[in-house]
Amino acid sequence: MTETTASNEHGHEAPSYDDINTPVILLVGAISALATLLTIMFVQGLCYHWLNSEMRVKEVVNMPAVAQINDQKAVLAGGGKTVSIDEAMKEVVATYGKPSSK
């Protein structure tokens, strides 16, 4: 008695091109995913580089505004011709804080 298989019962054998080559499909999928990830990372880095260079250009253009802001911060901190709030409050308390004698 001969052993029968599903392919022999129907009278034909499955051709080799009907088989799925799983290792090749997995390898192509992994390489494609890696290439996609590297492309995304490259484009993102390129965009960040363009953004940073644009910010540097804007910073040079806005230098007078930045200088003015720094001057105002120095005035608020007590630099230059003015005194800080803490020192001014101490001077006011020293001058006017003593009770008047009647």
Mean pLDDT, to the nearest integer, of 80-92?
79
**Identity of residue 64:** P
The predicted pLDDT at position 54 comes to 81
Q: What is the DSSP letter of 19?
A: S
Kind plus residue range of the DSSP H or E element containing 81: none
Tokens of 86: 């803490």
Identify the three-state secondary structure at position 38: helix
Classify the phi-psi angles of 78: left when phi > 0, otherwise alpha if psi is within -120 to 50, otherwise beta: left
Could you count the other beta carbons within 10 Å of the beta carbon of residue 12? 8
pLDDT tens per residue across span 52-78: 888 777 666 667 777 888 888 887 776
